[in-house]
Amino acid sequence: MEFSVAVIPGDGIGPEIIREAKKVLDKAGKVYGHRFHYTELLMGGASIDVHGVPLTEETLATAKKSDAVLLGAVGGNVGVSNWYSLPPELRPEAGLLKIRKGLELFANLRPALLFEDLKKACPLKEEIIGEGFDMIVVRELTGGLYFGERKTVVENGLRKAYDTLTYDEEEIRRIARAGFETARKRRKKLCSVDKANVIDSSRLWRQVVKEVGKDYPDVELSDMLVDNCAMQLVKDPGQFDVILTENMFGDILSDEASMITGSIGMLPSASLGKTKLGLYEPSHGSAPDIAGQNKANPMATILSAAMMLRYSFDLEEEALKIEEAVRKVLSKGYRTVDIMSPGNVLVGTDKMGDLIAEEVK
């Protein structure tokens, strides 16, 4: 089969990790008889440097016409890069919000899986890790605080800033469905996380999730307050299967979940909407501190490419093959510096890509 993939390397380590993901995809294509046609696009700082904006309308239009979008990361060194002297709507990260909104990607799936061979890299004590954990955060991506009206004003000589958190029931319903559907394909446990003891949007969230839950009697639904969830993630991560939550809570909790897997360099993500067109990117940022040094872990991006095969192209076997290849390379002891432990073999970004591609056979 043939697929068109809009590829956005972005900034910092973006081009390095995208190169490795393409290497692995092409190998999978060769083994299984598929062709991936890449169109390289600019976004973030790379686009600001050329076009003065983080995402042009033409780039968005090209992305919309593709079968899927594969993204590295955007952004630079805050405080050092000139990009941050621009107004917020022209900074690199504004491109991310615009493409997510433009492609109507309202569901962000972030798996947090502790690989058996990386237990040593997990910062939690062995008795807490137990059998390990394998959860997924389903985060609402196009509503809530990050998209609400915001302003900074001066009142009575004092600066005052406000942001608004709004959800309507349809926005909650569609992400709740995505959460239940995800749980249905896994261990059938959905924990909806909110702050219903304080904020109205969370009270509506909880009601609507319960209503949607009636259509999924096979999925066990529970609620948890976000502060408790932050605590439970480090106290007993094995209790979670699917965490369903709104935009900002999901942003924070998925980073926390990612950290306890050992390295943010391991975690993929998929952003999905109503159609098959999805955007796939690692959960981490552009890591300007290690950019251009061949040190970045490409696994999160390679695993994101596997998610692309699964969710946008329905190539489950090929996706599993890539995930298995990552597992095999880890079990042979190869590590990038972020997950290195004594006794392992240190490799750079490009070598790690080669090793994973070799295992796809």
| Contacts with ligand NAD, residue ranges (CB under 6 A) | 13, 73-76, 78, 93, 96, 264-265, 281, 284-290, 296-297, 300, 338
> Vertex 76, ends 296 and 37: CA angle to 5°?
60
The C-alpha R_g of the chain, in whole angstroms, comes to 20
Q: What's the one-letter identity of residue 356?
A: I
Minimum CB separation from ligand NAD for residue 56, in Å? 17
Q: Which is nearer to ligand NAD, 59 or 202 (CB)?
A: 59
Give the CA angle between residues 293, 92, 7 to the nearest 5°.
65
Question: Nearest to residue 352, comparing CAs of 326, 331, 316, 318?
Answer: 326
Q: For ligand NAD, which is the closer residue by CB, 96 or 303?
A: 96
b/e sequence 99-129, b meaning 16+ C-beta within 10 Å: bbbbbebbbbbbbbbbbebbeebbebeeeeb
Q: State yes or no: 10 annotated in a binding site.
A: no
Residue 241 is among the residues annotated as catalytic for this protein: no
Q: Which amino acid is at 318?
A: E
Contact, 324 vs 312, CB < 8 A? Answer: no
Are the CB atoms for 344 and 352 separated by under 8 Å? Answer: no
Residue among 146, 216, 311, 334 flagged as catalytic: 146
Catalytic residue list contains 23: no
Known catalytic membership, residue 195: yes
Which among 255, 328, 351, 354 is annotated as catalytic? Answer: 255
CB 45 within 8 A of CB 92: yes
User: Is 289 within any annotated ligand binding site?
Assistant: yes
**Rounded Cα–Cα distance for residues 335 and 268 (Å):** 17
Residue whose CB is less far from ligand NAD, 29 or 95: 95
Is 296 marked within a binding site?
yes
Between 209 and 308, CB nearer to ligand NAD = 308
Residue 247, marked binder: no
Q: Tell me: is residue 161 an annotated ligand-binding position.
A: no
Q: How far is the CB of 283 from ligand NAD (least distance, A)?
A: 7
Q: How far is the CB of 215 from ligand NAD (least distance, A)?
A: 32
Residues that are catalytic: 146, 195, 227, 251, 255
Residues annotated in the binding site for substrate, as ranges?
Answer: 100, 110, 139, 227
